[in-house]
Chains A and B, each alone.
Chain A
Amino acid sequence: MKYLEEFRDAGVARRLLDDIAAITTKHHVLMEVCGGQTHSIIRNGIDRLLPDHIEMVHGPGCPVCVTPLETIDKALEIASRDGVIFCSFGDMLRVPGSGRDLFSVKSAGGDVRIVYSPLDAVKIARDNPDREVVFFGIGFETTAPANAMAVYQAKREGLENFSMLVSHVLVPPAMRAILDSPANRVEAFLAAGHVCSVMGYEQYFPIAQQYGTPIVVTGFEPLDLLHGIKMAVAQLEEGRAEVENAYERAVTREGNIPAQQMVQDVFTTVDRNWRGVGMIPMSGWALAGAYRDLDAAERFTVTDIATVESPLCHAGEVLQGTMKPDECPAFGKECTPRAPLGATMVSAEGACAAYYLYGRYEELETAR
């Protein structure tokens, strides 16, 4: 089909792989920021087709994975209450909180609904004036405009039974945190194409300059990824550290300005805890003052939340690229998609899930 087959062409991929091999003279560590890119890389076997010198490490760009445990526990608590309709993207339902997930809340009688857009939750609020409707507003800059729009609409309509549990996170502060870490090995970034389609890529220039790190805006299809990798490797080999765009069909330098304006109106930048990573200053969005009355965390006073993270889970190191999923001692043993210890093993964008679903090569090779 159009837009898919063209970006999965094996012949073109072969040529790009040959080009990358031809320009590579030494070991390079590249990080793809977004979990969607991670899944595409592992699912298509791109990491195994690249020259041995090119090492891909996987970034923090899995919204479900970095949503703090205390926020998930708050969600579980709110969703369990009588009279609440709790709406969420499907991916969030299987993420383990301290001991249970939204699916368990649903099977225990909670009204938990999967929606495809926050605006669906606004409609549910409109249709159910006697119920409190809460939307779980998480994600990176990509999902923020639609979430902002839902809040804006609910406010404008005076829908008093609608609120949002917000835990938005931002890519650039996370990239800085990774580069600031003493354990960092990342030499170049493939920036997340979808985030850039909203935000543009001007915000990456200071990072590239300050840290001397090449940043290439990259898409998600196999050829997009190979194109981005090639540009990043070329920069490293030539000693350049620039911001380049390998995803021109979707991303412009300034991004989607009306979307950015909507986000700026509704959200304000705050410090944010990242699950497994810790607090990153000014790395999240919360509802701005004028919309604070739509904040579910304030509307439903949720107290006494004691969070318990499994001591066996190394998701934080995986999210920061200092550990590969299959290097984790619990990978495939105590931790599987069937019984996950951390969110990275559950989400459709989690690196551990990608390795487990597509990448157990060793098991393939050693199975009888």
Chain B
Amino acid sequence: MTLDSWSCPMPLRDHPTIVMGHGGGGQLSAELIEHLFVPAFGRGELADLADAAVLDTGGRVSFSTDTFVVRPRFFPGGDIGELAVNGTVNDVAMRGAVPRFLSVGLVLEEGLPMAELGVIVESMAAAAAHAGVTIVTGDTKVVDRGHGDGVFVNTTGIGILPDGVDIRPQRARPGDVVIVSGTVGDHGMAIMSVREGLEFESTIRSDTAALNHMIGTVLGTGADVHVLRDPTRGGLAASLNEIAKAADVGILLDERSIPVDRTVAAACELLGMDPMYVANEGKVVAFVPAGDADRVLEAMRLHPEGERATVIGEVTATHRGMVAARTPLGATRVVDMQVGEQLPRIC
């Protein structure tokens, strides 16, 4: 096939070139997956559109990949190396699997200080040890100065899925409660505040953390967990909209119950952003039957990354495919997915 003979699928025609929003985790990202990747790569396991694929290779494994291009490379609460390990560990764990093996692909830009690479690699090793995974294969490429942004990291992970575990977005059903494991918006606002040199009353730290141990404890309670999702790019709102569509259910949130750190709330207010759309790197959203909510919350709260776990809403049989929220004043509103990236407002 040549560039001229390729026929662009319908909604993608609006953008003849890639724009930043295609990587923003909102509608543009979703369209790229739906209209380009899924048709091209077949419907098989990919079509579940979960955080990881489940493959039957004799035993069942969970398999996922992610690429990290964060700038700056070092930020309060973590760095690109730790983020790359935790991110893929979490994606694998979102199917209920025990993450075991990681691959690491590095794209380095000519001129990167060796000390920076050293710190990033040490940090990856520490994160892998903490998560209990082994880095078993890798690759390094160097690109000319000006053709990269210091370091890009790809990680791919494999986890072992225990028998009987079936966790995927399609299993959300009316009567489920929606639990979030802690405050939302921390990672995105930590990055934005260092990138823009904004200072607040206290430093906003990224929440980057491996969640597999906490998820292990949750599953150990015997709770019938229907869905797990880590709300990264696009934030809580994007993840919930994806689940509502995948399972064809409605989701009703209680806005007041969504935990937001006070400094994060202030930073969002200043920039005109909504914490529900800001990225997280150490949080999980869980859908469980109402009767299992208490033991899931207790299990999460045993871990530091789940200390502020709380119920934020419920699954409904009404407004299927949409997410709504009860506002602090008691009205109801729509919670939509963003189109591309969230942009700071003017005043």
Q: Which residues of A contact B (CB under 8 A)?
A: 1, 4, 8, 10, 13-14, 36, 42-46, 48-49, 63-64, 89-94, 103-104, 106-108, 114, 116, 138-140, 142-143, 194, 222, 337-339, 347-349, 356-361, 363-365, 367-368
Contact = CB atoms under 8 A, between A and B. Distances in A.
Given A10-B328, A338-B27, A348-B272, A360 B346 contact: no
15 contacts: A1-B262, A8-B328, A43-B333, A44-B333, A45-B332, A48-B332, A89-B344, A94-B339, A104-B17, A107-B15, A107-B20, A116-B271, A222-B329, A348-B272, A359-B333
Contact of B331 (A46, A108, A116): A46
Interface of B: 11, 14-15, 17-21, 27-28, 196, 198, 250, 256, 262, 265-266, 269, 271-272, 318-322, 324, 327-336, 338-340, 343-347
5 interchain residue pairs of minimum CB distance: A45-B331, A90-B343, A1-B262, A348-B345, A358-B333
Secondary structure of the B side of the interface? Answer: loop
A367 B318 contact: yes
Given A49-B331, A108-B17, A139 B343 contact: no
B19 A103 contact: yes
Query: Binding site of A, secondary structure by majority: helix, strand, loop or mixed?
Result: helix
Nearest to A101: B19
B329 A114 contact: no
A339 B28 CA distance: 11
Contact of A91 (B198, B339, B346): B346
Nearest to A49: B331
A91 B331 CA distance: 27
Contacts of B340: 94, 103
B343 A91 contact: yes
Nearest to B338: A337
A103 B322 CA distance: 28
B345 A107 contact: no
Contacts of A46: 329, 331
A356 B339 CA distance: 12
Nearest to A17: B329
A116 B333 contact: no
Given A48-B332, A358-B335, A367-B322, 11 more contacts: A4-B266, A4-B269, A63-B347, A64-B346, A91-B344, A104-B19, A107-B17, A222-B328, A338-B11, A357-B334, A361-B332
A42 B61 CA distance: 46
A367 B320 contact: yes
